[in-house]
Amino acid sequence: MAGLLSRISRVKTAPLHTMSPAEARAAYTLRAEVLDPPRAPLARVQDFTIPAADGTPLPARLYAPSHERLPLLLYLHGGGFVIGNLETHDSLCRQLSARSGGAVVALDYRLAPEHRFPTAVDDAWAAMHWLAAHAGTALGLDASRLAVGGDSAGGTLSAACALHARDVGLRLALQLLITPGTTAHADTPSHKLFANGFVLDAAAIAWFFDHYIDHRHRRDWRFAPLEAEVDDVAPACLILAECDPLVDEGLAYADKLRAAGVPVKLELYRGLTHDFIKMGRAIPQAREAQQAAAEALREAWGL
């Protein structure tokens, strides 16, 4: 990881937080899969749309290793609520589908600053409800075995989905939280310890959050799941990186879930940084983490 960080620093690319959101999205799309493995072939890869709560059609992509009636994962990509799309996480979604034997539905939720908080949350909830109601008839999948998951900001959205699912009586098989954000103010010790030079810098976090949410709303549990009561939420699998500004809040959320009696599987990858799970071409532990996520899904689905 240290060698990879050294090589990345020598490339001298402009930091995302120095760009406009549109420029940052374009730059991230170009480089997001550079360290991912090649896109794995699957029996089904299908683009379609899911209606948002206000009727807006949201792009989505289905990945499945067969045409059978498979359980499914709603996947919410990372990118600080400002960048990221179906293309930036295509390789990862293919790996999760191929390794788990289940289907993955990736959602292209709306991004800030054009769509500030809570639009991304509302889009994620709308997709979860739509899949629970229509994945069987529209996609030929087993909607009774629905999981939610995502990385970084997508992990935050997934935790919010699990909390909302509990509140409305929707049973989820699993919440897969990969290096999620869970605190209101990015003020844990790991935010200071890993503030610079570890892939996700403090300046980038501030840039993302300023575009996404007003400061006065940051204790809303839909943004900071640590502010919520977590009793009776879906079982969780958390995949964390030791050298990540978000690691402390990931550990704190795992502890809070466990204290509430929620089954938790926790994988902490030592010596690795934020976003490592998308570095399978260079970091062997990325492939291990993908397999760990897939095995948690298989267990939750009863495969």
- Given the structure tokens 């295509």, which residue do they identify? 90
DSSP 83: S
Helix (H, G, I), strand (E, B) or coil at 237: strand
- Given the structure tokens 């909302």, which residue do they identify? 164
97, 224 Cβ separation under 8 angstroms: no
Active site residue 274: yes
Active site residue 164: no
Catalytic residue (choose from 17, 89, 129, 274): 274
- CB 224: neighbour CB atoms within 10 A? 23
The string of DSSP letters for 34-51 reads TTSPPPPP-SEEEEEEEE
Query: HSE of 269 in the Cβ direction (CA atoms, 13 Å)?
Result: 24
What's the CA gap between 294 and 73, in Å, rounded? 10
What's the CA gap between 187 and 258, in Å, rounded? 22
- Given the structure tokens 């999948």, which residue do they identify? 141
E strand residue ranges, the chain: 44-51, 57-64, 72-76, 103-107, 146-151, 175-178, 236-243, 264-273
Q: Please name which of 163, 172, 154, 42 lies closest in space to residue 88, comparing C-alpha atoms.
A: 154
Active site residue 217: no
Helix (H, G, I), strand (E, B) or coil at 175: strand
List, in sequence order, the alpha helices (H) in 84-232: 90-100, 119-139, 153-168, 189-193, 202-212
Catalytic residue (choose from 97, 152, 158, 190): 152
Catalytic residue (choose from 151, 244, 248, 275): 244
Active site residues: 152, 244, 274
